[in-house]
Amino acid sequence: MHTDILLNVKGGIVFARRWQPAVTSSTAPLVLLHDSLGCMDLWRDFPATLARQLGRPVVAYDRLGFGRSSPREQVPAADFIREEAEEFLPVILSGLGIADFALFGHSVGGAMALVAASRAGDRCTAVVSESAQAFVEGRTVAGIQEARERFQEPEEFDRLRKWHGSKARWVLDAWTGVWLSPEFASWSLEPDLPLVRCPVLVIHGEEDEYGSVRFPELICRHVGGPAEMHILSGCGHVPHRERPDIVAGLVARFSPLSGGWS
């Protein structure tokens, strides 16, 4: 069972969805943060699976400018990861009446989850970081450049339009414009990681086209709390879609999420 919610934030309306399990073992929700081209709908049935397996509510939302949320006119600034973690996510959590929570972030959503956890203190009790970038490496730049060229093909761009409608061009420009800019080249998660003191589960595909295993290694090495790393052989950038059973199983067995804290 799910419920759709509209939330007022600075600059517009954010669309969110909450999945409620039939049997609840914890009231603290797992909040999902999507990737650079993603949206709530692209999680597909994964949130419902997590809610059922964990026995806790799962929440996903479209960042402003994505999916069913309001459009944004300006391409995000180079500090957009910090902005989401410090400015938008707290307002969304407050609007949903969420006190304690855990975070699951995919790709840049993983980076946002880790930065948010570094600011949230004891309120954030666990983070699942899936395919998160930790800095900008050559593979990241090459992968984004290749994708930018691919989306010049009308049929490829139509895939974005299916999920983002008239916002599709902004979504693509927001991704490529920031990540390929000279101002963003020196960005790194490293300064924020020691402040992440909750347990962290790090999942990364060995064949991830946007980042090497140096990313999860750096995250695990520098977080301030316990970290558990899983590198999935033969897997690319979207493990929850490429290896859904494995990822769901790892999350379900991750003790901070399966232990029934609330």
* Closest C-alpha to 194, from 227, 225, 224: 224
Residue 60's DSSP bridge partners are 17, 32
How confident is the model over 122-144, as pLDDT tens digits?
Answer: 999 999 999 999 999 999 999 99
- Residue 242 CA, chain-centre distance (Å), reads 16
pLDDT at position 260, please? 43
Contact assessment for residue 15 and residue 6, using Cβ atoms and an 8 Å cutoff: yes
Cα distances from 18 to residues 9, 44, 90, 157, 183, in angstroms, run 18, 13, 16, 29, 36
d(CA 240, CA 217) in angstroms, rounded, equals 20
Domains of the chain, residue spans: 2-135+188-257
Q: What is the DSSP letter of 29?
A: P
Question: CB of 246 within 8 A of CB of 254?
Answer: no
- CA 124, distance to chain mean position in Å, is 15
CATH number of the 2-135+188-257 domain: 3.40.50.1820
Q: What is the pTM of this model?
A: 0.96
Please give the Cα distance from 84 to 97 (Å, whole number).
18
Give the separation between CA 202 and CA 217, rounded to whole angstroms. 9
Exposed, middle or buried: residue 259 (CB in 10 Å: 0-12, 13-18, 19+)? exposed
230 class by beta-carbon count within 10 Å (0-12 exposed, 13-18 middle, 19+ buried) = middle
How sure is the predictor about 16, in pLDDT bands with cuts at 50, 70 and 90?
Answer: very high
Q: Copy the structure tokens of residue 115.
A: 């930065």
> Span 30-50, mean pLDDT?
98
d(CA 137, CA 185): 8
Q: Which of 60-69, 99-108, 147-156, 252-261 has the lowest average pLDDT? A: 252-261
3-state DSSP assignment of residue 238: coil
The answer to whether 132 touches 111, Cβ cutoff 8 Å, is yes
Q: How far apart are CA 223 and CA 192, in angstroms?
A: 8
Sorted by sequence, the CB contacts under 8 Å of residue 117 that are 6+ apart come out as 103, 124, 127, 196, 198, 200
56-91 pLDDT tens trace: 999 999 999 999 999 998 889 999 999 999 999 999
